[in-house]
Amino acid sequence: MKVQGVVRPPGDKSISHRAVMLAALARGTSEITGLLTGDDVKSSARVLRGLGADISTVREGATVKVHVSRFTSPVSRLHCGNSGTTARLMLGILAGQPFAATLTGDASLRRRPMRRVTEPLRAMGADIEEKGGDALPLTIRGGRLRALTYTTPVASAQIKSALLLAGLTGNVGVTIREPYRSRDHTERLFVHLGLGLHERAGAIVYEPSGRPVVPSFRLSIPGDASSAAFLVAAAVLAEGGELVIENVGVNPTRTGFLVVLERMGAHVERVNLRDEGGEPVADLVTRPAALRGTEVSAAEVPTLVDEVPVLAVLASRASEGSETVFREVGELRLKESNRLELIAANLRAVGVEAEARCNDLFVCGTTRRPTGRIDTARDHRLAMAFAVLGTVPGAEVRLSERASVAISYPQFFRDLKRIRETGQGKRET
């Protein structure tokens, strides 16, 4: 397989969630271009509409307009679909609202832990009623909050963002420390919009000044680094050619996978560097490479947690017998699936030596052609990662389903086919 051409990944999922939420808190009408059209972001838009927001249709190529006079008490449960980001960040927004609301989600989301967010929100004064233990559905009664100083138990952008949004809607100060720095899109948007956020002695500090007013804004969302990672991986595994991936967010809290790829022997060049709404953006030039094993430290994991599945796939194609170790990736058990165990099990299913041992993942490189059936558990990251493995010459990798990619990259299989079969990746406008 050879790769060639130009492709553009969809809008960044993390930034899309945060942009539409802050637009719904803004005074006036905001306009967002490049918003991800995946199911998770549509879940955020649906929940915000349930609170009275006027949000135009989220569709590919459209400028999405968001206008709200004020939030109102919802008439029914707010359904977050499969989106943990929607659920956890909306808990923060609802903590500062003078009414009650109930959040729920699909069967997968109702199994994911929420106390990591609800416990510090309770410490701020929110009244949260659990209906099924440490999971959705939850009823939150917001209102008057108090300031919070908090150290997160894990490096989590969702916890951090929920607390900052609670501080914003509740008009109280919030100081947050993390064991390692997680992705910082919320902080960058706060700073971009002039919302009183800064860093002090290693802590993230939000200090409101008077009554909080979020200004309306126009924002262009860069391409998603996590989605781009699958295209990068396909190019690295190719037998020849060069692929240009345009308009990718290269925020350093999101590009740990590029650092790891360099250690493994691949080189991804960043060109046309620029700034979009406080986020660094570049085009990525990727070529095939011979890979070697490496060790991914616990400190690196927050910058590449969503890329572990595709990095594990790449590690399986490293030089024969070389081992790659991912340290302290137990958080993957709490994703859309038990992602940690499924990565290892699926790699074994196609003939790779792999094991999840406590919170570590071990993958041994091989030159044997991958053959077998993959259980994606309807997890979009697993489906895309093993689809990339299926591009290896002679591979016979069968996915249990493909529809789950709609969560984050609806056009993934179209783009993967374009770059690998035709070698004529086309510029997306």
What is the token pair recorded at 318? 């490293």
Residue pointed to by tokens 């919802």: 74
SS3 category, 120: helix
Please name the amino acid found at residue 24.
A
Catalytic residue among 306, 375, 379, 415: 306
What is the token pair recorded at 146? 């108090």
Residues composing the chain: 429
C-alpha 2/C-alpha 241 separation (Å) is 5
- The number of CA neighbours under 13 Å toward the Cβ of 375 is 13
Instruction: Look up 306 and say whether it is catalytic.
Output: yes
Three-state secondary structure along 345-362?
HHHHHCCCCEEEECCEEE
- For residue 231, give Cα distances in angstroms to 40, 251, 387, 402: 21, 18, 11, 16
Query: Is residue 139 a contact partner of residue 78, using CB atoms and an 8 Å limit?
Result: no
Question: Is it true that the peptide bond before 137 is cis, omega within 30 degrees of 0?
Answer: yes
Please name the amino acid found at residue 428.
E
C-alpha 65/C-alpha 354 separation (Å) is 46
The residues assigned a catalytic role are: 306
